[in-house]
Structure 1
Amino acid sequence: MAELKLPEEPGDFNPTAAGEYWINKRKIDHTDNTIHSNRKDLAPFLGWCVEHEIERVGDLTEWTIEQYEQYAHARDDWGAVTIKNKLQTLKQFLEFLGEKGAFDGYLHPAVTVPDLDRSQEVNTEKWDKTDALQQIRFMRDSPKWYGTFEHAVIEVAWFTARRVQAISGLDLADYVREPDDDDPADGPYLDFNHRGDQGTRLKNELDSEDPVEISEDVADVLDYHIARERNDKRDENGREPLFTTRQGRASIGKIRGATYIATQPCIRVACPHGENAKKCDFRKRDHASKCPSSRSPHRIRTGSIQWQLDQGIAPEDVSDRVDASVETIRRHYDVPDDRAKMENRRRKYTGVLEDSINDAEESADQTPSQEEDSNEETSEEADSGELDESNEDDGSTPPTV
């Protein structure tokens, strides 16, 4: 790509060229996914500038920002979260231009980013665990699907809830089936590593690095896949990827395509949309994402995080497993319904409360004579009207659940 020619003054920048300049600057210290999101979120504003014949960023004013916000809120195809993301990106873009001196002062404070409540921000688009567990169980029992590329990918995606670029970046050596004596792990795991200088980045770079334990069943699928399905190839850096194609490392697009295929319910049941699975175009890899029932890696990640929380795993532990902050986990994923909340409380507290009752019974069984004496004394005191009420309001309260 040719080097972008800078104008004499920053305010003379054409909005589209300024957007490209900002994006290129961010490529230095941001992931490909972040750059993709920034470009997508800023594009409507740059297009709006073209339609309104705004040829210089220096001509932008608080009023033009107000007009764009009105346009954004009036779009029927943008939900609250979409509007927030796009305006947040615009605010960052304008702040960058302000720092370069494109305006007389700063313009980014004029952008009003919506303050959404939790119900609006919660990510409810997910691969539902009921469908997910049935699908995975089916693939484990199917001679046709067991150990295939799609099956192995979906097992790792569901069990670890890691992002698609993290799964694509796994090497064969990152899969540890039998930890050695010096390894504190006592079971199989996948070791996620940031290797940005070799083309496989993690979203939060070194902070994303973590070994994530997997079950023996998931390990069995990986063993089968490696032995019978995996192409013995190296990537352009000489590394041996865990997931490969005939050319080398399986790309992010290849991994994503596998999830679309693996989540289609028609591989195990009749098509819920009334189509003939053998003739449906959505069964073809290039069109699988168009199936209404197929799920993207992000929806798999969302469903898996909710599933892990529903199993009673603490948000702090889920955070380490899936590479997401505890705040993000609580705000966007930890939203079980009332029955799920009850079940989580049952797992956490019912045993403790029951143990308390059992302990009390054991204590009572050990001192029957004292109990009888106490009952006799209480009865006599009650008859004489002298029952001691000193413990009625001692500040103690019963346990609450």
Structure 2
Amino acid sequence: MVKLKLPEEPGDFNPTAAGEYWINKRKIDHTENTIRSNQKDLDPFLMWCDEHGINRVGDLTEWTIEQYEDYAHAREDWSPITIKNKLQTLKQFLRFLGEKGALDSYLHPAVTVPDLERSKEVNTEKWDKTDALPQIRYMRNSPKWFGTFEHAVTEVAWFTGRRVQAIAGLDLSDYTREPDEDDPADGPYLDFKHRADEGTGLKNKLDSEDPVEISGDVADVLDHYIARERNNKRDDNGRESLFTTRQGRASIAKIRGAIYIATQPCIRISCPHGENAKKCEYRKRDHASKCPSSRSPHRIRTGSIQWQLDQGIAPEDVSDRVDASVDTIRRHYDVPDDREKMENRRRKYTGVLEDSIDDGDESRGQPQSGNDDDDDDDSEGSPPAPTQ
């Protein structure tokens, strides 16, 4: 943790220095991803203070907050959920300053965090199964792609729905292809473990630890990758990583770049944007994220969770597999469109409803009683057209 020189009075803190102090404090008990998000969300406010000549946090007022909120809502490049996230982080920061006595009064209640409709709050962009499944099948059948680093990390990301930091933290010993007779598992699995003291912590710490089953097909991909592609290197802590580079453990950035490459549709079809795949600069790893059709690990996670739910896996079981609460899954990930909802209902209930009709044997073959004359004459005894 970076040691900062504290001012004589907390109110004399420069906003940028105060932001750095707050971020450093949070590093003690928050994950790297959370810290990165906090920094990204707070930076615009700190820059705004600098541009408006606010050099002391003690000079912040409710009117200052009102002006910044107007600025945030006026930015056309910020979506509603972006604005909400940035104002939520600002509220946390101001609460911290208030608790330290840096403000004349608590300012965090002055921050109005938008209460978004679910449709605006949830980012529904994902690597949809209609794109993901053909892409995965193609890589499984392609001599060029099968078992490559890109293929292997994408298979694991899709099949487990785990975060990229969890995938990067896997060791070779965390992969079990053939469980022994003392192992309760009956098939291959990956055992995700929280090892914060060795640089591979999980988001929810020990609560994130869980073995996650994978299919035999995913295991085949991993076996090929381990035998043919994996570098036999140890990381700085002497551990044998599952996913490696020539230097050691593959970084989160390395895995993210591989997934951007693996999700580009031009691997198997013509470029949907009219580019020549052989000449397109987005085919290069450093630029792959700029491809409009490539997807980040988070979008794979989103699509995977939806796919697992679509297969009829209970949200409680998906929760364990992907390390997310049931409430989070239902609120942020389980967002099928209207047609998907209809198909889900049809798969779940149509057979039951039809069985209830078929089970009505008591009336089968029995003539209708006495009310036939009430029917329309032009029906000619034909059955009604089915409703849509």
| Mean Cα deviation higher: 337-346 or 134-143 | 337-346
What residue number does 1:146 align with?
146
Deviation at 1:99, TM superposition (A): 0.4
Deviation at 1:357, TM superposition (A): 4.7
What residue number does 1:132 align with?
132
What residue number does 1:399 align with?
none
Cα 1:240–1:68 change in 2 (3 A) is same
The alignment covers a number of residue pairs equal to 371
What residue number does 1:396 align with?
none
Indicate conservation of the 8 Å contact 2:2/2:24, yes or no.
no
Identity %: 84
Query: Could you give the per-residue CA deviations for residues 95-126 of structure 1, whole angstroms, max 9, x where no partner exists?
Result: 00100001123111110100111111122111
**Which residues in structure 2 correspond to 1:96-135 (within 5 Å)?**
96-135=96-135
What is the DSSP-based 3-state SS (H/G/I as helix, E as strand, rest coil) of the residue aligned with 1:286?
A: helix
Determine the C-alpha separation between the residues in 2 that align with 1:184 and 1:33: 33
Indicate conservation of the 8 Å contact 2:88/2:113, yes or no.
yes
Deviation at 1:360, TM superposition (A): 4.9
Determine the C-alpha separation between the residues in 2 that align with 1:63 and 1:315: 44
Indicate conservation of the 8 Å contact 1:123/1:302, yes or no.
no
Name stretches of at least 5 consecutive residues in structure 2 with no aligned partner: 372-388
Determine the C-alpha separation between the residues in 2 that align with 1:190 and 1:350: 36
What residue number does 1:262 align with?
262
| Mean Cα deviation higher: 120-129 or 252-261 | 120-129
Deviation at 1:353, TM superposition (A): 3.6
**Which residues in structure 2 correspond to 1:83-98 (within 5 Å)?**
83-98=83-98
| Mean Cα deviation higher: 276-285 or 148-157 | 276-285
Query: Could you give the per-residue CA deviations for residues 163-194 of structure 1, whole angstroms, max 9, x where no partner exists?
Result: 10000001111111111212221111111111
- 2:64 maps to a residue whose letter is T
Q: Does 1:159 align with 2:138?
A: no
- 1:187 maps to a residue whose letter is G
Deviation at 1:356, TM superposition (A): 4.2
Determine the C-alpha separation between the residues in 1 that align with 2:355 and 2:184: 33
Determine the C-alpha separation between the residues in 2 that align with 1:53 and 1:132: 49
What is the DSSP-based 3-state SS (H/G/I as helix, E as strand, rest coil) of the residue aligned with 2:218?
A: helix
Deviation at 1:339, TM superposition (A): 2.6
| Mean Cα deviation higher: 199-208 or 342-351 | 342-351
Deviation at 1:304, TM superposition (A): 1.1
What is the DSSP-based 3-state SS (H/G/I as helix, E as strand, rest coil) of the residue aligned with 1:211?
A: strand
Indicate conservation of the 8 Å contact 2:308/2:318, yes or no.
yes
Indicate conservation of the 8 Å contact 1:312/1:347, yes or no.
no
- 1:115 maps to a residue whose letter is D
- 2:273 maps to a residue whose letter is H
What residue number does 1:237 align with?
237
RMSD across aligned C-alpha pairs, in angstroms? 2.0
| Mean Cα deviation higher: 79-88 or 346-355 | 346-355
What residue number does 2:73 align with?
73
Determine the C-alpha separation between the residues in 2 that align with 1:145 and 1:344: 33
Query: Could you give the per-residue CA deviations for residues 16-64 of structure 1, whole angstroms, max 9, x where no partner exists?
Result: 0000000000000001000000000000000000011001000000010
What residue number does 1:331 align with?
331
Deviation at 1:3, TM superposition (A): 2.5
What residue number does 2:46 align with?
46
What residue number does 2:195 align with?
195
Query: Could you give the per-residue CA deviations for residues 245-286 of structure 1, whole angstroms, max 9, x where no partner exists?
Result: 111110000000100110111111111122211111111111
What is the DSSP-based 3-state SS (H/G/I as helix, E as strand, rest coil) of the residue aligned with 2:211?
A: strand
- 2:235 maps to a residue whose letter is D
Determine the C-alpha separation between the residues in 2 that align with 1:353 and 1:190: 40
What residue number does 2:204 align with?
204
What residue number does 1:343 align with?
343
What residue number does 1:3 align with?
3
- 1:203 maps to a residue whose letter is K
Determine the C-alpha separation between the residues in 1 that align with 2:347 and 2:304: 20
Cα 1:65–1:267 change in 2 (3 A) is same
Name stretches of at least 5 consecutive residues in structure 1 with no aligned partner: 384-401
Determine the C-alpha separation between the residues in 1 that align with 2:179 and 2:348: 31
Deviation at 1:2, TM superposition (A): 6.1
Q: Does 1:284 align with 2:261?
A: no
| Mean Cα deviation higher: 173-182 or 68-77 | 173-182
Indicate conservation of the 8 Å contact 1:121/1:331, yes or no.
no
- 1:205 maps to a residue whose letter is K
Determine the C-alpha separation between the residues in 1 that align with 2:209 and 2:343: 32
Determine the C-alpha separation between the residues in 2 that align with 1:76 and 1:2: 35
What residue number does 2:376 align with?
none
Determine the C-alpha separation between the residues in 1 that align with 2:332 and 2:2: 41
- 1:213 maps to a residue whose letter is E
Deviation at 1:15, TM superposition (A): 0.3
Deviation at 1:316, TM superposition (A): 1.6
Query: Could you give the per-residue CA deviations for residues 71-116 of structure 1, whole angstroms, max 9, x where no partner exists?
Result: 1011111110000000000000000010000112311111010011
Determine the C-alpha separation between the residues in 2 that align with 1:73 and 1:344: 37
What residue number does 1:27 align with?
27
Determine the C-alpha separation between the residues in 2 that align with 1:133 and 1:2: 45
| Mean Cα deviation higher: 128-137 or 9-18 | 128-137
**Which residues in structure 2 correspond to 1:247-258 (within 5 Å)?**
247-258=247-258
What residue number does 2:177 align with?
177
